[in-house]
Structure 1
Amino acid sequence: MAHLVVVGGGAAGLSAAYYARQAAPDLAITLLEADTRLGGKIFTVAEGGFVLEGGPDAVVRYKPWALELMRELGLESRIVGTTPARPSALIHNGEQALPIPAGLQMVVPGDLRALAQSPLLSPLGKARALLDLILPRRTGNDEAFGAFIERRLGRQVWEQLVAPLSGGIYGGDPYELSTQAAFPQLVALEQQHGSLIRGAIAQRKTRGSREAGQLFASLEGGLGTLVKALEAQLTGVSLRLGVRVVGLERKGNWLVHTPEGTLHADAVVLATPAGVAGELLANLHPEAAQALQAIPYGSSATVSLAFDKAQLPPRVGHGLLMSLGQGFSARGFTWSDQKWAGRAPEGFGLVRAYFSGVEASPDELVKLALHDLERLWGRLPKPLHTWVFHWPLGLPRYTVGHLERVAQALQAEALPGLFLAGAAYHGVGLPEVVRMGREAAHKAVRFLSDLPQPQKLA
C-alpha cells in the first residue's frame, strides 16, 4: 500500500491530509506535527464563557476555499457572520479615530460618495485619489505596494487608509510588500479596468460589504471548530503529535527521519514554514532550499483583555486600526464582543490587540496594549482577565521579489513525490492556505496513482 507522509499539522497540513483521505480512502497517511496540538496558528480557547482567538478570527467570504471545506465537514449551520455595523471600523490618525469609508473593496475605495464624505482625507487628497480614474495603466516588474498605491491613488490615501489596513493583514512594513504577491487582485483591477476605483466599484456588485456583516465569516465557537472537525474526519490517518522531522532523504522512496525513528514514504507533503522546509531540503535541492530560507518571517502576537463592560467608553463598530508612525505599539484593536455574537459573557467587553514585529514578553505585551488603550480612551478600567498568544517568526512577509523566490522554491517539486504547501507561498489567509493544502493533496494522490502497482502472484 502506498504511503503519504504530511509534515506539519497546521491548516495546510490538515487540509492536505483530509483531501488526500477523501480522494484515496485506502491510502496510508501519516501526519507529523512538531507541536503537541493541531491547528498551527488557528488557536481558539474557550474559557469561562469567553471565546478567544489567538490567531486568525475570520475568513473572507469572497475567497471560497475555507467556506467550502467547512460545508464539506457539515459545519454549514455553524458558519456565522460579523454583526452589522456602520461604520464597521475606524482608523486612528494619532489625533482622533475616523471611520473607514463605506464600500471599501479590499483596501480600495469602491463608493465615490463615501470617499467624498470621508474625513480621513483632505479635499486635496480626495482630488488626487480621483486621478486614478484617468491615469494610464502600467505594466512591468513587481512594485512595492506603497509605491503602487501612491502611483494610483496618492500619498494621502496610502498613509491614512491603505497602510493601516494592509499593515493589519501582513505585518512588517506594508510599504515593502510585493504588490504582485500580496495583492494580485489589485494588479488585475488596474489591468482590467484601467483604474483601481472603477474596478472596486464593479466588485461591489458581486461582493458583500463589511458594514452589512457580509465580508467576513467564522464559526460558532471560533475557528478551532474547524480543526476539531478536520481531526474527526481523519479516520485511519496516523496522527503523531510532538514529533519533529529532522531530515529527509530520497533512496528509491522517501525516508522521513524523526527522533523516534525513520518512516518510509512514497510521497511527502511539506506543510511547514519556509525556513523549516529549506532546512529539510538543503541537501536534496540546494537552490530551492536557498529560496525558501530567503523568505523573511516576522513575529506576531495577540492580547485579549476582558473588562467590565459598564466601565468601558463607547466603542464604535468592530474595531480600530492605527496609522503608522503615530507612536502606537499595537497595529489595531478588535472589539471582539461587538464583532461576533457569543464571544463574551453578558456584561463583559472583550478587546483584542494585534501586534506585528514587536519583540516583548507576555507581560510587556499586555502593558503595551493597555498603554495604547489608555491613550485612546483617556481613562483605563482594570482588565479582569488577560490572554496572550505569541507567534515568534510566525508570519511570512511577501516582500518585493516574493513570486520569484516562490517559483525557485517550488522547483523542489521536481523531486518525485514531493509537494509544498503553506502560508509562505501564495497567500497568508486561511482560505488560501486551505486551497494550497488541497492542491498538494490532489497532486500527491495523482502521483501515487501513477506508481507501478505490485503484481499479485497467481
Structure 2
Amino acid sequence: MARLLVVGGGVAGLSVVHYARQAAPELQITLLEADLRLGGKVATLREDGFVVEGGPDAVVRYKPWALALMRELGLEAEIVGTLPARPSALIHDGRRALPIPAGLQMVVPGDLVALARSPLLSPLGKARALLDLFLPKGPPGDEAFGAFIRRRLGQQVWERLAAPLSGGIYGGDPAELSTLAAFPQLKALEAAHGSLIRGAMRQRRERGTREGGQLFASLRGGLGAVVEALRARLEGVELRLGVEVSGLEHRQGWRVHTPEGSFLADAVVLATPAGVSGQLLEALHPEAARALRQIPYGPSATVTLAFEQRHLPPRVGHGLLLAAGSGFAARGFTWTDQKWPGRAPEGVGLVRAYFSGLEASEEELVALARRDLERLWGRVPSPLRTWVFRWSQGLPRYTLGHQERVAQAMRAEELPGLFLAGAAYQGVGLPEVVRMGQAVAVRAVRFLQAGPAASSWL
C-alpha cells in the first residue's frame, strides 16, 4: 500500500490529507504536526457565549475554494455573511477617521458616485485617480505595489486608501509588495480593461460589495469549525501531534526523522512555513532551500477585548484601519460584535486589534491596544475579558521578486515524491491555501499511483 506523509497540520496540510483521501481512499497517510493542536493560524475560542478568532476571521466569497470545502464538510448551514453596514469600515490617518468609499474592489474604487462623495480624498486626489481611466497600460512585468498604485491612481489614493488596506492584509511595508504575487488581479484588470477603475466597476457588478454583507463569509461558530470538521474525518489517518520533523532522507523512498523515531513514506508533502521547509531540504536541494529561506516572515498578533456595550462610544461599521505613520501601534480594529452575528453575549461589545511586525509580550500588546483605543475614544473602560494570540512567524510577505523565489523553491519538487504546500507560495488567504492543498493532493496521488511503493528502506 502506498504511503503518503504530510508534515504540517495547518489548513494546507489538512486540505492535502482531505483531498488525498477523497482521490485515493486506500492510501496509508501519516500527518505530523509540531504543535499540540491542528489548524495553524486558524484558532477559534468558544467560551461563555464568546466566539473569538485568534487568526483570520473571514474568507472572500469570490474565491470559492474555502467555501466549497465548507460545503463538502457539511457546514453549509453554518456559513454566515457580515452584518450589513454603511459604511462598512473607516480609515484613520492620524487626525480623523473617514469612511472607505462604498463599492471598493480590493483597493480600487468601483463606484464613481461613492468616490466623488468620499471625504477620504481631496478634489485633486479624486481628479488624479480618475486619470486612470485615460492613462495607457503599463509594462506587463512585475513592479512594487506602491509604485503600481501611484502610477495608476496617484499618491493620495496610495497613502489614504491602498496602503492601509494592503498593509492590513500582508503586514510589513505594503509598498514593497510584489504586485504580480500579492495582487495579480489588479495587473490583470489593467491588462484587460486598460484601467483599474473601469475593471473594478465591472467586478463590483459581479461580486457585490462589503457594505451589503455579500463579500466576506465565515462560519457561525468561527473558522475553527473547518479545522474541527477536517479532524473529524481523519479516521484511518495516523495523526501525531507535538512531533517536530528534524530531517529528511531520500533514496527510492523517503525516511522522515523525528525525536520519536523515523517514518517511512513513498511521498512527502511539506506543508510547513517556508523557512522550516528550507531547513529540512538544505542537504537534499540547496538551491530550493536557499530560496525558501529568503521568503520573509514577520511577527503578528491579535488582541480581543470584551467591554460592556453601554460604556462604549458609538462604533461605525465593522471596524477601523489605521494608516502607517499615523502614530498607532495597531494596524486596525475590528468591531467583532458588529461584523458577525452571535460573537458575544447580549450587551457586550467585542473589539479586536491586529498587530504586524511588532515584537511584544502579551501584556505589552494589551497595553498598546488600549492606548490606541484611548486615542480614538478618549476613555477606555476596563475590559471584561481579554484574549491574546501571538505568532513569531506570521504571514509570509510577498515582496518584490517573490515569484522568482517561489519558482526556485518549487525546484524542490524535482526530488521524486516531494511536494510543497502552504501560504508562502500562491496566496496567503484561506481560499488560496485550500486550493493549493487540493492541487498538491491530486499531484501526490498521481505520483503514488504511477508506480509501485518504494522498498529501498525495507
Q: TM-score, normalised by structure 1?
A: 0.98
SS in 2 for 1:297: coil
SS in 1 for 2:373: helix
Q: Assess if the C-alpha contact under 8 Å between 2:2 and 2:452 holds in 1.
A: no
Using the alignment, how far apart are the partners of 1:318 and 1:350 within structure 2?
11
Give 1:453 shift.
6.6
Using the alignment, how far apart are the partners of 1:78 and 1:246 within structure 2?
39
Using the alignment, how far apart are the partners of 2:42 and 2:373 within structure 1?
26
The 5-angstrom pairing of residues 347-386 of structure 1 reads: 347-386=347-386
Which amino acid counterpart does residue 348 of structure 1 have in structure 2?
V
Structure 2 equivalent of residue 215 of structure 1: 215
Which amino acid counterpart does residue 144 of structure 2 have in structure 1?
A
Question: Is the aligned partner of 1:444 residue 2:444?
Answer: yes
Structure 2 equivalent of residue 85 of structure 1: 85
SS in 2 for 1:249: strand
Structure 2 equivalent of residue 387 of structure 1: 387
Structure 2 equivalent of residue 129 of structure 1: 129
Using the alignment, how far apart are the partners of 1:419 and 1:245 within structure 2?
16
Q: Assess if the C-alpha contact under 8 Å between 2:172 and 2:397 holds in 1.
A: yes
The 5-angstrom pairing of residues 290-305 of structure 1 reads: 290-305=290-305
Q: Deviations over 1:300-336 (max 9, x none)?
A: 0000000010000000000000111010000000000
> Aligned-pair RMSD on alpha carbons?
1.0
Q: Deviations over 1:197-233 (max 9, x none)?
A: 0000010121021000000000011000000000111
Structure 1 equivalent of residue 280 of structure 2: 280
Structure 2 equivalent of residue 146 of structure 1: 146
Q: Assess if the C-alpha contact under 8 Å between 1:266 and 1:448 holds in 2.
A: yes
Which amino acid counterpart does residue 151 of structure 1 have in structure 2?
R
Q: Assess if the C-alpha contact under 8 Å between 1:21 and 1:234 holds in 2.
A: no
Using the alignment, how far apart are the partners of 1:114 and 1:192 within structure 2?
24
Q: Assess if the C-alpha contact under 8 Å between 2:33 and 2:243 holds in 1.
A: yes
Using the alignment, how far apart are the partners of 1:427 and 1:311 within structure 2?
40
Which amino acid counterpart does residue 101 of structure 1 have in structure 2?
P
Using the alignment, how far apart are the partners of 1:138 and 1:125 within structure 2?
20
Give 1:452 shift.
3.0
The 5-angstrom pairing of residues 234-253 of structure 1 reads: 234-253=234-253
The 5-angstrom pairing of residues 17-416 of structure 1 reads: 17-416=17-416
Give 1:93 shift.
1.3
Which amino acid counterpart does residue 244 of structure 1 have in structure 2?
E
Q: TM-score, normalised by structure 2?
A: 0.98
Using the alignment, how far apart are the partners of 2:110 and 2:266 within structure 1?
49
Using the alignment, how far apart are the partners of 2:205 and 2:222 within structure 1?
29
Using the alignment, how far apart are the partners of 2:330 and 2:12 within structure 1?
28
Q: Assess if the C-alpha contact under 8 Å between 2:417 and 2:444 holds in 1.
A: yes
Q: Assess if the C-alpha contact under 8 Å between 1:305 and 1:384 holds in 2.
A: yes
Using the alignment, how far apart are the partners of 1:56 and 1:165 within structure 2?
15
Q: Assess if the C-alpha contact under 8 Å between 2:3 and 2:28 holds in 1.
A: yes
Q: Assess if the C-alpha contact under 8 Å between 2:12 and 2:271 holds in 1.
A: yes
Using the alignment, how far apart are the partners of 1:358 and 1:453 within structure 2?
47
Which amino acid counterpart does residue 322 of structure 1 have in structure 2?
L
Q: Assess if the C-alpha contact under 8 Å between 2:140 and 2:191 holds in 1.
A: no
Which amino acid counterpart does residue 31 of structure 1 have in structure 2?
L
Which amino acid counterpart does residue 62 of structure 1 have in structure 2?
Y
Q: Deviations over 1:117-174 (max 9, x none)?
A: 1000000000000000000001243211000000000000000001000000000000
Using the alignment, how far apart are the partners of 2:236 and 2:139 within structure 1?
50
Which amino acid counterpart does residue 214 of structure 1 have in structure 2?
Q
Query: Identity rate of aligned residues, in percent?
Result: 75
Which amino acid counterpart does residue 409 of structure 2 have in structure 1?
A
Q: Assess if the C-alpha contact under 8 Å between 1:59 and 1:66 holds in 2.
A: yes
Using the alignment, how far apart are the partners of 1:193 and 1:335 within structure 2?
36
Using the alignment, how far apart are the partners of 2:395 and 2:65 within structure 1?
20
Which amino acid counterpart does residue 193 of structure 1 have in structure 2?
H
Gaps of 5+ in 1: none
Q: Assess if the C-alpha contact under 8 Å between 2:2 and 2:453 holds in 1.
A: no
Using the alignment, how far apart are the partners of 1:69 and 1:233 within structure 2?
13
SS in 1 for 2:307: strand
Gaps of 5+ in 2: none
Q: Assess if the C-alpha contact under 8 Å between 2:266 and 2:453 holds in 1.
A: no
